[in-house]
Each structure stands twice: as C-alpha cells, then as structure tokens.
C-alpha cells in the first residue's frame, strides 16, 4: 500500500473532508501525515471542533477499523467514538483523545497509583465485551482463546523456525528447539485454563491509555488486540509496569494494581494462579502479534517473536520487551 502517493493522499483527504462535512465539522488547516510506517499511516487535521486523525492500518491489522465501530457501539464509555468508518477502504476517522497517561505523568512518579485506577476500568470494559466474542471474531480479530492456543503455538514455531534457519545464532537454535519440545506441556496447560473470553488489547501500556491518572480513561490503538482469556492483557499491562518502575513483579507497586484489576472478576487471591497461567500462555499470542507487526519490515526486532516464545522458560508471566 503506497500511503505516501499523491493519489492515495488525495483520496484520503477527500474522504476526510466529506465525513467532516457530514458531521457538521469544518477543517481549518492543512492535512499532515505525522506517521508513515510499513504497517500503516495516520493523517492529522485541525478542525473547528479540535484535532482529528485518519488512521489507515495495513492488511495485517485492518480489523481495527470495524473493531472501533463495534467497541463504540458496545462499550462507548471506554473508547474513542469514531467520526466515520470506511470498512471497505480500511479507514477510521477519530477525534483527538487528549494526552496519554504517559504524557500526563511525565515519569514514573504516581504510576502505580494511576494503574490502580486504570486497570479496573479496563477490566470493566472486558466484562462488557464478554458476551460479544462472535462479534469480535467477525471484525477479523484473531482467535487466541485457550482451545486455539496449541495451534497458535505451531504457527509461532513456523515463524521462529524460519528466523532460526536464517540465523547463525546457536542461542536462537537452542531456544527454538526448547520451545518445540514444550508443545505437549503447553497444550496440557491450555486445557487447564478456565474458559473466560474477552478482548486482549495486547499492548496495554501508558501510551495507549488516554486520560488519567485519576478519573475516567479511554483505551486506544487496538491493532494488536486478539480474542483471548481476558487476564492475558496483564502480560503487557503489569509487565510494562514492573519494567518502568524497575521492580520485581511481586513488589507492592505491581501487586496493588494487579489486585485492583482482579477484583473486577472476583477474589484476587483465588484468581492469581489463573492470571499467571493466562499470561504465560499469552506469550504465544504476543509472539504472533510481534510477527504480525514486523511482517513488512522486521529490522532490529526480527528476533522478538523467538525471544518472547523463549520466555516460556521463565515459567512466569513476565516477558521480555
């Protein structure tokens, strides 16, 4: 997709203006293209109602366009409400959501307390989405439910096998061989995971949270999301928190947000083992999401899917960056 071509840009700007007019909004500045990546692009425009953004994901993540429409219909409190959606062309026009949580905090001070407020809101969003599994699949979200995960591991191993075959790294070869040897154990542990199902954002960090640190927030950038056990979201949600704070996952600064999230679903003490197993299994989904993101341009992150799979060895919910 040549998102930088004059033809594509002219069509996108024309659609943007048509949809703004239909919504009673007037553009008051030039349209710019602040982000252009191999996996998608974003256009920005100022209007008399504030900044708007046209997002055009690539074919690997174009499901995000109909997903936004579904989320705005089912759980509007927690997401941006699109101004317009064109599923056929894979375009979504969004209002500006304001500063991210990372921008508001400006550092790690207060981050743990902020996540105590944020993660239960995310849990509530997941609860609202639980009855809509089939609708989520219909948008094109990948099925990463526990029963599907043994097959997903095989798919991930195909990817890491190609990487290993092209690599001179003995470490990579050993890591890949170790994961291959865990297929039966992995399938058995998938069967042990309770069959809760909801949307896993799969990249739940402070730059994808709009608002905060207290009060209502909204969740943004759903291009990595999958249908999975809801607790798998904490693989990134809690893992990134521990890394940002440079603390152990058992540190109170991580435990308190974790328990606040689990309280949405029940007694945290009774759910902790389920969360840890869900996150351990979710590493395979994360590896496949890495592969999806890197499909067009692996670059320096080419080894990320294998590193994520190899972190199954840790028997922990933590995964490497």
The CATH number for 180's domain is 3.90.1200.10
pLDDT for the residue numbered 295:
64
CA-nearest of 230, 4, 261, 262 to 131 is 230
Boundaries of domain holding 245:
101-314
Percentage of residues of the chain with pLDDT beyond 70: 96
Question: Largest Cα–Cα distance in the chain?
Answer: 61
Judge if 190 and 280 occupy the same domain.
yes
Q: Based on the structure, what is the number of domains in the chain?
A: 2
User: For 25-35, b where at least 16 C-beta lie within 10 A, e where not — what string?
Assistant: bebeeebeeee
Q: Report whether pLDDT(213) > 80.
A: yes
* Residue that finishes a domain, picked among 95, 113, 146: 95
Distance of CA 55 to the CA centre of its chain: 16
> What's the rounded mean pLDDT across residues 22-50?
94
Residue 49 domain flag: yes
Judge if 77 and 210 occupy the same domain.
no
Judge if 233 and 288 occupy the same domain.
yes
Q: What is the pTM of this model?
A: 0.93
CA-nearest of 228, 263, 253, 7 to 119 is 263
Residue 168 domain flag: yes
Residue 84 β-bridge partners: 93
Give kind and range of the element (H or E) at residue 159. helix 149-165
Percentage of residues of the chain with pLDDT beyond 90: 86
Judge if 227 and 213 occupy the same domain.
yes
Q: Using the 8-state DSSP alphabet, how is residue 303 labeled?
A: T
Q: What are the pLDDT digits (tens) for 107-156?
A: 999 999 999 999 999 999 999 999 999 999 999 999 999 999 999 999 99
Residue 117 domain flag: yes
Judge if 11 and 107 occupy the same domain.
no
pLDDT for the residue numbered 302:
79
Residue 1 domain flag: no
Residue 170 domain flag: yes
* Residue that finishes a domain, picked among 47, 77, 95: 95
What are the tokens at 191?
């069967």
Q: Report whether pLDDT(1) > 90.
A: no
Judge if 297 and 232 occupy the same domain.
yes
Q: What are the pLDDT digits (tens) for 286-312?
A: 999 888 876 655 566 778 899 999 999
Distances (CA, A) of 314 to 81, 155, 168, 280, 320: 40, 21, 24, 9, 10
pLDDT for the residue numbered 317:
63
pLDDT for the residue numbered 207:
95
Judge if 161 and 213 occupy the same domain.
yes
* Residue that finishes a domain, picked among 70, 95, 120: 95
> What's the rounded mean pLDDT across residues 240-267?
96
Q: Quick one: pLDDT band at residue 318, thresholds 50, 70, 90?
A: low
Here the CATH number for the domain that contains residue 39 is 3.30.200.20
Residue 321 domain flag: no
Judge if 159 and 238 occupy the same domain.
yes
Residue 229 domain flag: yes
Judge if 152 and 41 occupy the same domain.
no
Give kind and range of the element (H or E) at residue 94. strand 91-95
Our CA angle for 252, 255, 260, nearest 5°, is 125
pLDDT for the residue numbered 9:
97
Residue 48 CA to residue 2 CA, distance in Å, equals: 30
For residues 91, 92, 95, 99, the Cα torsion angle rounded to the nearest 10 degrees is -90
CA-nearest of 217, 223, 216 to 92 is 223
pLDDT for the residue numbered 296:
52
Q: What are the pLDDT digits (tens) for 268-280?
A: 999 999 999 999 9
* Cis amide bond preceding 37, omega within 30: no
For 143: left if phi > 0, alpha if psi spans -120 to 50, otherwise beta; the answer is beta
Task: Indicate the SS3 state at residue 132.
Answer: helix
User: Residue 107: exposed, middle, or buried by beta-carbon count in 10 A (0-12, 13-18, 19+)?
Assistant: exposed
Q: Report whether pLDDT(42) > 60.
A: yes
Judge if 162 and 117 occupy the same domain.
yes
Q: At what angle do helices 252-262 and 234-245 cross, to 10 degrees?
A: 160
Q: Report whether pLDDT(238) > 90.
A: yes
Residue 15 CA to residue 19 CA, distance in Å, equals: 6
Judge if 137 and 20 occupy the same domain.
no
Q: Tokens 């170790």 sit at which residue?
A: 178
CA-nearest of 273, 280, 278, 140 to 196 is 278
Residue 284 domain flag: yes
Residue 96 CA to residue 85 CA, distance in Å, equals: 15
Judge if 166 and 199 occupy the same domain.
yes
Distances (CA, A) of 228 to 55, 146, 261: 25, 7, 17
């Amino acid at each position: 997709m040549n998102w930088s071509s004059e033809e594509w840009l002219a069509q996108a700007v024309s659609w943007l203006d048509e949809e703004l007019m239909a919504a009673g909004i007037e553009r008051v500045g030039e349209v710019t293209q602040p982000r252009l990546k191999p996996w998608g692009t974003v256009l920005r425009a100022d209007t008399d109602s504030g900044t708007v953004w046209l997002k055009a994901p690539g074919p690997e993540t174009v499901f995000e366009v109909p997903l936004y429409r579904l989320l705005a219909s089912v759980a509007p409190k927690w997401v941006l409400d699109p101004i317009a959606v064109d599923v056929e062309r894979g375009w979504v026009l969004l209002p500006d959501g304001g500063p991210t949580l990372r921008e508001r905090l400006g550092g790690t001070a207060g981050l743990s307390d902020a996540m105590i407020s944020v993660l239960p809101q995310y849990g509530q969003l997941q609860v609202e989405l639980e009855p809509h599994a089939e609708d989520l699949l219909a948008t094109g979200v990948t099925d990463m439910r526990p029963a599907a995960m043994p097959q997903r591991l095989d798919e991930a191993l195909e990817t890491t096998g190609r990487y290993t075959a092209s690599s001179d790294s003995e470490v990579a070869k050993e890591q890949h061989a170790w994961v291959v040897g865990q297929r039966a154990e992995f399938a058995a542990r998938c069967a042990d995971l309770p069959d809760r199902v909801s949307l896993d954002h799969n990249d739940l960090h402070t730059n994808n949270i709009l608002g905060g640190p207290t009060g209502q927030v909204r969740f943004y950038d759903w291009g990595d999301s999958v249908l999975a056990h809801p607790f798998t979201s904490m693989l990134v949600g809690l893992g990134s928190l521990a890394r940002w704070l440079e603390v152990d996952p058992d540190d109170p600064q991580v435990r308190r947000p974790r328990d606040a999230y689990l309280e949405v679903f029940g007694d945290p003490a009774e759910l902790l083992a389920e969360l840890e197993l869900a996150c351990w299994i979710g590493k395979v989904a994360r590896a496949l999401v890495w592969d999806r993101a890197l499909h067009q341009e692996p670059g320096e992150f080419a080894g990320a899917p294998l590193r994520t799979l190899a972190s199954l060895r840790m028997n922990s919910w933590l995964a490497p960056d």
